[in-house]
Structure 1
C-alpha cells in the first residue's frame, strides 16, 4: 500500500475521538446562544459559481480559491467565506422581504494558499447574519452576541476590537486617493506597516497634512479616548459620522452590560473589500489570529440584485478550540458510554439492559466478553 494514501494533504487534518466531541460540544453552545436571539439555521452549498466570490464582490483573491469545472464548463469554487453565499441566498429567496431576516450557519471553508505558516486550509466557521437592518442597534446586537457566545464557551480573557472603515474611506476621499492607492494603503495600515504606508503616500505625492492623518490611523486604538482623538484629526463629514456611529454603538453595548470586553481600532481594515462600515475582530491569548471577524456589508447584496443593508460575524471554530486548549479551559463533554459485556449465554439479558438504559437517555456499548486465559 502507498503510505502517502494514509496521510492527508498539507493544510487539512482528521479530527476524531475526544477532540471532535469537544469541538461539537462547543459548536452546540455557540449555536444555542445564536438561536436564542432568533436566528434561524441555513445551509448553503459547499461550492458555488466563481462569480459569487469574484473580485467585484470583494472577497478572497482568485489565486487563493480552490477552482474546478463542472461538465458544462462552468467555473466553480469551494467556498472560502460564507458571507457572499449568505448574500446570494438572501437575494434569491427573500427578494421582496422588507423585514429584517436572521440567518445562522456552521460549515467548512477552504482557502488555497501556501503562506499559511502552519494554519489550516480547511476550517470550520460558525456565524450569524442580520439582513435588512441598517441601525446601530443591529450593530450592537451582533457585537453583544459575539461576546456572549465566547463567554458561553468558557473564555473570559478576550477583547472585541471594533472599527469603522468609513473613517478611513472619508480621509482617503478627502486626500484625493484613487481606488488602487486606497486598496494598497489599506493592506499596509491593516498590517500595521507604518513604513510601507509612508513610502506609498510619499510616492503618490499625497499632501503632507493628509499623509500625516492617514499615518496616524495606525495608532488610533484603545478605549473611548481613541475615538475622541480620532475625531480631532478629521473634518470631513464621512469620517466624523463614522466616529459618531461608534460612540452610539458603545452606549448600546453598555446597555447589554458587555462594554468591558470592547475596544476600538480605527486602523483595523479587513482584507474583504465588501465591508462598508462597522467591523469586528475578537482576540484572545494563545492564538495569533482573530478568532472572530465580521462587520457591516450594506452594498454586497446589491451584487445579487437585492438592495439591503446587512451585518454579520463568523467564528473560526478551529482557532477557538486552540485557544481553549492553550488556556487550559476544560470543555465538559457529554457522559461516556457505559460498557456492558456479554457472552453467548447472557446476550439476551445484556441486550434488554442496553435497550432500557438507552431509552433513559444513556449511552451504552455492547461488547463481547473476552474469555479469560487459563492459569497454568
Structure 2
C-alpha cells in the first residue's frame, strides 16, 4: 500500500536542493555579477546541459575528462557527457556557430556543471558558475580587463577585504625548459610546487644533475609570492627567455591595472601552477578574507579555440557562486540576498483597494506579496519575518484612519500611517524610509 511517509527522498551524494532562502541568495549574487558583465559589454550565451563526449573532450585537459559524467545516447549510439566546465562549450559555439562574425567576442554565462568528486572529500559535484570569455584579443589589456571585472564584481557584492593572486604559467614553463627534465620528474616537481612543499622540492633537486642556477630557480618558485617587489627576485632567477617574457607580460598587465586604480587588490604568485595544462599566460584567482577557497579563477587560454578549428586568442574567468555565497555568509554586515518589500494585509472584506495598492507598489518597482490566506495581524507579521519581507502594509481594519494605510516593520513591529493620496498620487518611486524619518522628525 502507498505510504507517503515511507518515500525515500534522498538525493545522490554531492548534489542538493536549494530552498527559497538559499535560492534568493544565489539569485542576488548572480544578478549583481550579471549586471557587471553587462556594463562591460558582455552578452549572455546559454549552453546545453548535454554534449557529445568526444566533441566536449576536445576542449578539456585530462583532469576535467576524468571528472566528467558520461552515459550512452540511445538515439545516436554515441557517448553523451554532462559538461564539467562551460568554457569548452563557449569555444565550440564560437568556432562553429559564430564563425565569420568579427572579433572580439565578449560573452557571458550563468550555468551549472557537474564533476565527479571523491566521496571522502565532501565536495559538491554540482557547481554553479557565472563567467565571461573574451575571444579574439591577445593584448595585456584584455587580461587586465578580466581582472578589473572580477574586482568590480566582488565590490558590487559588498566585499572590501579581498585579493586577486596573479600568476603567469609561462614563467614556470621557461624554468622547466632550461632544466630539460624527463616527464616523470617534471610531474613530481609540479606536484610539490602546487602543494608549496619546499622540503619535497629540495629532496627532488638533491637527486638531480642540474646547475646550481637552475636548482635555485626551481627552489624559489613556492617563495615567489607577494607584492610587486617579488618580480625583482623572479627576474634574478629567470634562467630562460620564456620566463623573462612572462615577467614582462605581468608588468604590462600591472601597469594597466594601475590606471584602473586597482593595485591594492593584487598579489603576485609565480608558484601557482594549477591549470597549467589549460592556460597559456596570465592566470588569476580571487580570495576573500576569512574564506579559504578561491571564489573565482581564470586566465588566458590561447590554444583552446584551435582545437575546434578556429585559432584565436582568448581569456576569461568564472565565479563559483556557492563559494561566493559561503563567503558572504561570513560577513553578516553585507547584504547577501534578495529582500522582498511588502506583505499586504487586507483587514477588509472587499479586495478592490488592496489590489489597487499592490498594483501601485509594483508599478513603482517594489515587490508586493498578497497574503491571500486569512490570518490575524500577529500571524501575518510573523509570516513576513519568516518569508524575508521587510514590511507589512495594512489596509483597513481600524489600524489607521479611513484615508490612510498602515506600514509596519517586520523586524521590530514598529509602524506609521501613510495617506492613501500620498501613495496613489506619487509620480515616481515613493520613498517610505524618508517619509518615516520626516514623520518622526
TM-score scaled by length of structure 1: 0.90
Matched with 2:278 is 274
Matched with 1:114 is 118
Q: Trace 1:157-168 onto structure 2 (pairs within 5 A).
A: 157-168=161-172
Matched with 1:339 is 344
- Give how far 1:6 is off: 2.6
Q: Trace 1:2-151 onto structure 2 (pairs within 5 A).
A: 5-54=8-57, 57-58=60-61, 60-71=63-74, 72-114=76-118, 117-151=121-155
1:52–1:84: 8 Å Cα contact kept in structure 2? no
Residues 203/80 of structure 1: CA separation in 2 closer, same or farther (3 Å cut): farther
- Ranked by relative contact order (alpha carbons within 8 Å, sequence separation 6 or more), the top structure is 1
Distance in 2, matches of 1:167 and 1:47, equals 36
- Give how far 1:138 is off: 0.6
1:342–1:350: 8 Å Cα contact kept in structure 2? no
- Give how far 1:8 is off: 2.4
Residues 136/116 of structure 1: CA separation in 2 closer, same or farther (3 Å cut): farther
Residues 52/267 of structure 1: CA separation in 2 closer, same or farther (3 Å cut): farther
Matched with 1:248 is 252
2:52–2:78: 8 Å Cα contact kept in structure 1? yes
Matched with 2:307 is 303
- Give how far 1:285 is off: 2.5
Matched with 1:365 is 370
- Give how far 1:90 is off: 1.3
1:55–1:62: 8 Å Cα contact kept in structure 2? no
How far does the alpha carbon of each residue in 1:249-278 deviate from its partner, in whole angstroms, 9 at most, with x for none? 111100000000001000011236110100
After TM superposition, the structure 1 stretch with the greater mean CA deviation from structure 2, 13-22 or 30-39, is: 13-22
Q: Trace 1:186-225 onto structure 2 (pairs within 5 A).
A: 186-201=190-205, 205-225=209-229
Residues 139/347 of structure 1: CA separation in 2 closer, same or farther (3 Å cut): same
Distance in 2, matches of 1:221 and 1:306, equals 36
Distance in 1, matches of 2:7 and 2:219, equals 50
Give secondary structure in 2 for the equivalent of 1:279. strand
> In the alignment, does 2:264 pair up with 1:292?
no
Distance in 1, matches of 2:345 and 2:276, equals 54
Q: Give 5+ residue unaligned stretches, structure 1.
A: none
Residues 200/93 of structure 1: CA separation in 2 closer, same or farther (3 Å cut): farther
Distance in 2, matches of 1:225 and 1:4, equals 61
Residues 368/113 of structure 1: CA separation in 2 closer, same or farther (3 Å cut): closer
Matched with 1:263 is 267
After TM superposition, the structure 1 stretch with the greater mean CA deviation from structure 2, 292-301 or 206-215, is: 206-215
- Give how far 1:49 is off: 2.1
Over the aligned positions, Cα root-mean-square deviation in angstroms equals 2.5
Give secondary structure in 1 for the equivalent of 2:271. coil
Distance in 2, matches of 1:74 and 1:229, equals 52
Bigger Cα Rg: 2
- Give how far 1:359 is off: 4.0
2:130–2:321: 8 Å Cα contact kept in structure 1? yes
Give secondary structure in 2 for the equivalent of 1:189. helix
Distance in 2, matches of 1:57 and 1:93, equals 19
Distance in 2, matches of 1:330 and 1:302, equals 43
TM-score scaled by length of structure 2: 0.78
Distance in 2, matches of 1:75 and 1:199, equals 44
Residues 131/181 of structure 1: CA separation in 2 closer, same or farther (3 Å cut): farther
Residues 338/239 of structure 1: CA separation in 2 closer, same or farther (3 Å cut): same
Distance in 1, matches of 2:376 and 2:168, equals 69
- Give how far 1:204 is off: 6.1
1:53–1:60: 8 Å Cα contact kept in structure 2? no
After TM superposition, the structure 1 stretch with the greater mean CA deviation from structure 2, 211-220 or 276-285, is: 211-220
- Give how far 1:360 is off: 4.1
- Give how far 1:86 is off: 1.5
Distance in 2, matches of 1:153 and 1:185, equals 38
